[in-house]
Amino acid sequence: MAAITYRKALNDALAEELAHDENVVIIGEEVAEYNGAYKVTEGLWKRFGDKRVLDTPISEAAFVGLGVGASMLGIRPVIELMFWSFAFVAYDQIVNNAGCIRYMSGGLVNLPLVIRGPANAGTNVGATHSHMPESILASNPGVKVVCPATAYDAKGLMKTAIRDNDPVFVMENTLLYGETWEVPEEEYLIPLGVADVKREGSDLSLIAHGRAVITSLQAADILAREHNIDAEVVDLRSIRPLDEEAILQSVRKTHRAVLVDENKPFCAVSAQIATTIQGKAFDDLDAPVMRVCSLDTPAIYSPPLEKLQLPTLERVVEKALSIA
């Protein structure tokens, strides 16, 4: 098994699916000749040509809408948003058209499309480029949202997303693009809606998605090493559909949960998880469900301070200790 970057894993997934299905096309800003703003699509245009990999003007509403329209006729567009933060200029296309057309047509119209790109803060690009819209978008029934935390998950989830027959939004992370993980050479798919226990533990559950999973794994190490607390780390991987059973199983085992979430706290993904836990595992809890989210303001630019705004290792450890 070779260690490859999260970026390469995504690139491999895209290349494999382009080769696998002639209906797959890559559409977005700088995805072709420029090789991708973050090089996720590097080499694909050269290999697959103008027909399959297309550069667009800076017109998110138009090219997302184009992707939705093309998917109605069975094309499988994989649309890159250079940042998920740019989703807001295409919100009507994403929420009303990708999200509602199937329903409003009584199931007559299917929309097999993927929208992907990075959705994270922490890179000192200011509030406009630091949105994490997974909670906002996952609150729309009709769409699916996944947030891979590792290269392995990124590849398997991306391939599944492209083969899925509903609109799937893949939210990546620029801070993970250069990180490496072991990824098998042979083909594999990871189903949507299936969480992954990234670390087994018995004392406390750290439940997270995206890069917060990595923070949680580091926090679990500290808790074990310095505090003799055996934390379990549950990686949701998929936000909608959500593996509620995996969450509940972990909580039933550990009786304590800290939700680690890079979203802003108000109506965050973790708010939904907290509701699930209190509603379905209340009697299993030995402590209140706690959350560590991004600090509740727009993303600050100042680099040292932005680090503090995201869920820090220290805050996760502290919150865990408060209920351990």
Partner 1 sequence: MHCDVNTMNTPATIRASQADVNLRLTAEEKIGLLRQMLRIRRFELAALKHYQAGIHMGGFLHLCTGQESVAVATVSLCGENDHIVAGYRTHGQALAVGMTMNECMAELFGKATGCSKGKGGSMHFFAPDKNYWGGHGIVAGQTPLGLGLAFALKYRSAKGCCLCFLGDGAINQGVYHESLNMAALWNLPVVYIIENNHYSMGTSIERSSAFKECLAARAEAYGIDWDRFSGEDIYEVRARTWAAMERARNELRPTVLQIDTYRYYGHSVADANAKKYRSPKEIEEYRRQHDPLMLWQRRLSEEGVVNDEQVEAFDAEAKTEAAEAVRFAETSPLPEPEDIFRDVYYEVDRQTQAGRAGTFFFND
Is the bond preceding residue 311 a cis peptide, omega within 30 degrees? Answer: no
Q: How far is the CB of 246 from partner 1 (least distance, A)?
A: 9
Catalytic residue ranges = 60, 129
User: Left if phi > 0, otherwise alpha if psi is -120 to 50, otherwise beta: which for 237?
Assistant: left
- Give Rg (Cα) of the chain: 19
Interaction site with partner 1 (CB under 8 A): 25, 51, 54, 56-57, 59, 61-75, 77, 92-93, 96-97, 101-110, 112, 141-142, 144, 160, 164-166, 191-194, 238, 240-244, 272, 276, 279
Distances (CA, A) of 19 to 14, 23, 49, 119, 153: 9, 10, 12, 27, 20
Please count the residues of the chain: 324
Relative to beta strand 238-240, strand 144-146 is antiparallel
Classify residue 279 as exposed, middle or buried by CB count within 10 Å of its CB (0-12, 13-18, 19+).
exposed
Comparing CB distances to partner 1, the nearer of 145 and 317 is 145
Give 60: exposed, middle or buried? Use CB within 10 Å, 0-12, 13-18, 19+: buried
- Looking at the Cβ atoms of 134 and 243, the one nearer to partner 1 is 243
Whether the CB-CB separation of 125 and 84 falls below 8 Å is answered with no
Q: How far is the CB of 99 from partner 1 (least distance, A)?
A: 10
Query: Judged by CB, which is closer to partner 1: 5, or 160?
Result: 160
Q: Which is nearer to partner 1, 90 or 293 (CB)?
A: 90
Residue closer to partner 1, measured from CB, 51 or 225 = 51
Cβ nearer to partner 1, comparing 279 with 288: 279
Cβ(53)–Cβ(26) below 8 Å: yes
* Other CB atoms within 10 Å distance of the CB of residue 210: 30
Nearest Cα to Cα of residue 162 among 34, 85, 52, 242: 52
In single-letter form, the type of residue at position 93 comes to Q
Query: Least distance from C-beta 323 to partner 1, angstroms?
Result: 25
Closest approach of partner 1 to the CB of residue 18, in Å: 14
Shortest Cβ 44–partner 1 spacing (Å): 17
72: part of which helix (H) or strand (E)?
A: helix 60-72
Residue 240: both structure tokens together: 């909608």
- Rounded to 5°, the CA angle 197-117-124 comes to 95
